[in-house]
Structure 1
Amino acid sequence: MDAKFDYGEKVRVIKNIRNDGTFMGSNRGALLIRRGNEGYIKGVGKFLQDQVIYQVHFMEQGCTVGCRETELSDLSSPWIDRKFERGDSVVVRQTLSSSGEVVVSVGQRGTILGLESNQKPFYYRVSFKEVDSEDVNSWVIPETVLLLAQSDPLLTGQVLTRSTQC
């Protein structure tokens, strides 16, 4: 199993990187690096003898994070920049109605379930209510109507400085 990327190569993260429990100083599931960010390969290793893991240093965020090969791409690969990813917490910027009935109010918080269109304008399936782990109020909503919720410091402009090495 050969590594696709080499030491010093600049790469782009193509999926949100969340803490799987191995990143010290951050809660499990917390967003570490948002998709689209670029970093440099600092080291290459193997996990369980069948997965290549790259130590990627993200200079803007001031941290080094372990990434799988499937989470990275080279900078020459086409890139579609969209604002949201599955699992993101979002807030609605305007009231949404269906058949004249309000179904989602301004400021209501929801969770991105997935991308519905893979080209601009982007539309997302957003869940606004769960009952017994079952989605009972989800809608397909254009990207222009949504904002990231202000719960994650990485999303609100605050920089987390971590010196943890993976």
Structure 2
Amino acid sequence: MTPAFTFGDEVRVTRAIRNDGTMPGFARGQLLVRRGSTGFVREWGLFLQDQIIYQIHFLDADLVVGCRGQELIPANQPWNAGMLQFGDLVTTLHSLSVNGVVAVRAGETGQIEATDQGDDGNSYTVTFSGRWFQVPASALRLAEEFA
């Protein structure tokens, strides 16, 4: 087994990293690192003799997290997926209409149900008041950024 990354390499996580119960001070399932975030490899080791686990220091959050190789890509590799992810609360920047009738007003909050929709990962499936909509990324912002 040969590691794909080494000390000092800058890497990007391709999926949200949540606490699996091994991070003290964080609730199980709590989001630790958003997908698309970059960090630096501190070291690596083996888990159960068949998985390489990389210790990644995410400078923005000043957090060190263990990541599997399949969750990482080189930071300089193109990253096309949007930053929104499943479960995020989002706010619309524009009204959304169905057959010319406004179904969601600008400023309403919904929740991401699916990501990476479309050819370029540029739209999301979002629920607003129990209804599902396919919404372009350009029409959404994280609710916490909008407040």
TM-score normalised to structure 2 length: 0.84
Instruction: Report what 1:111 is aligned to.
Output: 111
CA contact (8 A) 1:111 1:126 kept: yes
Structure-to-structure mapping, 1:85-100, within 5 angstroms: 85-100=85-100
Give the aligned length: 145
Instruction: Report what 1:149 is aligned to.
Output: 143
Say if 1:41 and 1:128 are closer, same or farther in 2 by CA, change over 3 A: same
Structure 2 residues without counterparts, runs of 5 or longer: none
Q: Deviations over 1:78-101 (max 9, x none)?
A: 222523123322112222110233
CA contact (8 A) 1:16 1:33 kept: yes
Instruction: Report what 2:133 is aligned to.
Output: 139
- The structural deviation recorded for 1:141 is 0.5
Q: Which has the higher strand share?
A: 2
Structure-to-structure mapping, 1:4-153, within 5 angstroms: 4-80=4-80, 82-112=82-112, 113-119=114-120, 122-130=122-130, 137-150=131-144
- Once residues 80 and 57 of structure 1 are traced to their aligned partners in structure 2, the CA distance between those partners, rounded to angstroms, is 22
- Once residues 107 and 27 of structure 1 are traced to their aligned partners in structure 2, the CA distance between those partners, rounded to angstroms, is 30
- Once residues 140 and 101 of structure 1 are traced to their aligned partners in structure 2, the CA distance between those partners, rounded to angstroms, is 16
Overall identity of the aligned pairs, in %: 40
- Once residues 59 and 105 of structure 2 are traced to their aligned partners in structure 1, the CA distance between those partners, rounded to angstroms, is 39
- The structural deviation recorded for 1:65 is 0.6
- Once residues 97 and 38 of structure 2 are traced to their aligned partners in structure 1, the CA distance between those partners, rounded to angstroms, is 39
- Once residues 107 and 19 of structure 2 are traced to their aligned partners in structure 1, the CA distance between those partners, rounded to angstroms, is 28
CA contact (8 A) 1:114 1:126 kept: no
Query: What do you get for the CA RMSD once the two structures are aligned?
Result: 2.2
Say if 1:108 and 1:27 are closer, same or farther in 2 by CA, change over 3 A: farther
Say if 1:109 and 1:12 are closer, same or farther in 2 by CA, change over 3 A: same
- The structural deviation recorded for 1:103 is 2.0
Instruction: Report what 1:2 is aligned to.
Output: 2
**Bigger shift: residues 99-108 or 66-75:** 99-108
- The structural deviation recorded for 1:36 is 2.5
